[in-house]
Chain A
Amino acid sequence: AQRVTQPEKLLSVFKGAPVELKCNYSYSGSPELFWYVQYSRQRLQLLLRHISRESIKGFTADLNKGETSFHLKKPFAQEEDSAMYYCALRPLASGGYQKVTFGTGTKLQVIP
């Protein structure tokens, strides 16, 4: 079974401060990890994924297999970063559909 845990329901930071949204996972095999974001009145969309090794809107996330974590980080928060963020996991396995498991989400509030 796979599980994704986001321990913070709400994270409030001041504009310009660093941001770290925590994500821990439980899965016995090799995972692919994602971060999805939902801005106010917009649909859920993919922010970044581990396999792409990319930085989107200044956000990065590093997969730490030892700590089973995939925390989302940004050095300087901006007001437009305020949104709901979901961490998700999908098994890296061949053969058939591999279900995506989502965390419960963290609301990021950037204070001006």
Chain B
Amino acid sequence: DGGITQSPKYLFRKEGQNVTLSCEQNLNHDAMYWYRQDPGQGLRLIYYSQIVNDFQKGDIAEGYSVSREKKESFPLTVTSAQKNPTAFYLCASSMGTSITDTQYFGPGTRLTVL
């Protein structure tokens, strides 16, 4: 496995604190994504970015923020406004956003709010 890395693997946060999850890829992919995975709910899209310096809200963007200043990096900040942040977060990337482009996933970060 390589190509997409997420850090840290486990993250603990106190209520009221913002926390940033890292996602890096060396696949030269233009598009990057953040998903949230909860038991029994599958994957839900938080934010996506089709190209550097541009990003769009997904289905559940409230309480989250992102940036895409570099092609290889797409950090996700979980803010104190997110009501239920404890979850498993997956980052993904794809060459582009056409129908033939496959999304490749990172190993994930498990965030626990104490």
Contact = CB atoms under 8 A, between A and B. Distances in A.
A97 B106 contact: no
A43 B108 contact: yes
Contact of B99 (A45, A90, A99): A90
Contact of A32 (B44, B56, B99): B99
A46 B42 contact: no
The secondary structure that dominates the A interface is loop
Nearest to A41: B107
Interface residues of A, number: 22
B4 to A, nearest CB: 8
A102 B45 CA distance: 9
| B: interface residue count bin | 20 to 34
Contact of A105 (B42, B48, B102): B42
Contact of B97 (A45, A98, A102): A98
A97 B50 contact: yes
Contacts of A44: 43, 90, 105
15 contacts: A4-B42, A9-B40, A32-B99, A43-B105, A43-B108, A44-B43, A45-B105, A49-B102, A86-B42, A97-B31, A98-B97, A99-B45, A102-B42, A104-B41, A104-B42
Interface of A: 4, 9, 32, 42-46, 49, 51, 86, 90, 92, 96-100, 102-105
